[in-house]
């Protein structure tokens, strides 16, 4: 398994096959992140396949009643998933249902990077962080392209790992995000849309340098 602070989101296979991409960059990254479109395309087997190469964070944005959240989490953990991303917005019982066993690493969404995130979620991040903490989260999602929220989240996050999307195409800079408190930066299009993902990731890791 690779180490470091980079998580590569594999949102698209238009340019590179997901498994090939994961294999090529696995030495430089901490994990890959997959979401529903890839799972719909490939079936849940893709989680198992990628898990044999690196850690797989399943970005499912779970937001259902406890029973359904738990059923989904069970299937992901059986497939070898490293962590599951769920919304804190559906409350404590729904989050706790994802973390149905000690084996689950729960990463809770407490803020989002798109404009609609400001309509409801982002204004509640402090309470959502409390819910996430009490539910036994391993980490939280906080925007890497919003230095103000990110550094405030960092001050209140305690032991929780901060995973920050919004890096690269969405405007966030890896080093700035890490300085502001990100434990892991999530990079998507910048890597999977590149002709040479290995160079992009290895250069990014060099830039992160001593923060690694």
Contact flag: residue 198 with its own copies (CB under 8 A):
no
Has 61 been annotated as catalytic? yes
User: Rounded to an integer, what distance in angstroms lies between the CA atom of residue 39 and that of residue 21?
Assistant: 16
Nearer Cβ to its own copies, position 28 or 149? 149
Torsion sign over Cα 22, 4, 184, 199: negative
Compute the CA torsion angle 198, 203, 205, 211 (nearest 10 deg).
Answer: 180
One residue of 128, 149, 177, 186 binding its own copies per CB under 8 A: 128
Kindly state the DSSP code that residue 160 receives in the 8-state scheme.
P
One residue of 1, 17, 120, 203 binding its own copies per CB under 8 A: 120
Check if the beta carbon of residue 181 is closer than 8 Å to that of residue 157. yes
One residue of 48, 124, 154, 179 binding its own copies per CB under 8 A: 124
Contact flag: residue 104 with its own copies (CB under 8 A):
no
Nearer Cβ to its own copies, position 116 or 196? 116
One residue of 3, 20, 52, 118 binding its own copies per CB under 8 A: 118
**Nearest CA among 155, 180, 188 for reference residue 21:** 188
Query: Could you say which of 5, 15, 48, 61 is catalytic?
Result: 61
Active-site residues, by number, are 61
């Amino acid at each position: 398994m690779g180490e470091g602070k980079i998580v590569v989101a594999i949102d698209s296979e238009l340019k590179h096959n997901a498994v090939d991409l994961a294999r090529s960059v696995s030495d430089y990254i901490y994990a890959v992140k997959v979401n529903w479109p890839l799972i719909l395309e490939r079936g849940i087997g893709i989680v198992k396949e990628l898990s044999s190469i690196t850690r797989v964070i399943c970005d499912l944005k779970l937001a259902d009643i406890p029973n359904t959240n738990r059923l989904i989490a069970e299937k992901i953990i059986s497939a070898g998933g490293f962590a599951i991303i769920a919304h804190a917005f559906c409350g404590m019982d729904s989050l706790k249902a994802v973390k149905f066993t000690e084996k689950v690493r729960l990463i809770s969404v407490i803020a989002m990077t798109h404009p609609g995130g400001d309509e409801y979620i982002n204004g509640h991040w402090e309470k959502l962080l409390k819910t996430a903490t009490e539910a036994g989260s391993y980490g939280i999602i906080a925007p890497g392209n919003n230095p103000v929220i990110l550094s405030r989240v960092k001050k209140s996050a305690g032991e929780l790992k901060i995973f920050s999307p919004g890096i690269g195409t969405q405007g966030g800079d890896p080093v700035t995000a890490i300085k502001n408190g990100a434990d892991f930066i999530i990079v998507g299009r910048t890597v999977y849309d590149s002709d040479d993902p290995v160079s992009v990731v290895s250069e990014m890791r060099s830039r992160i340098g001593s923060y690694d």
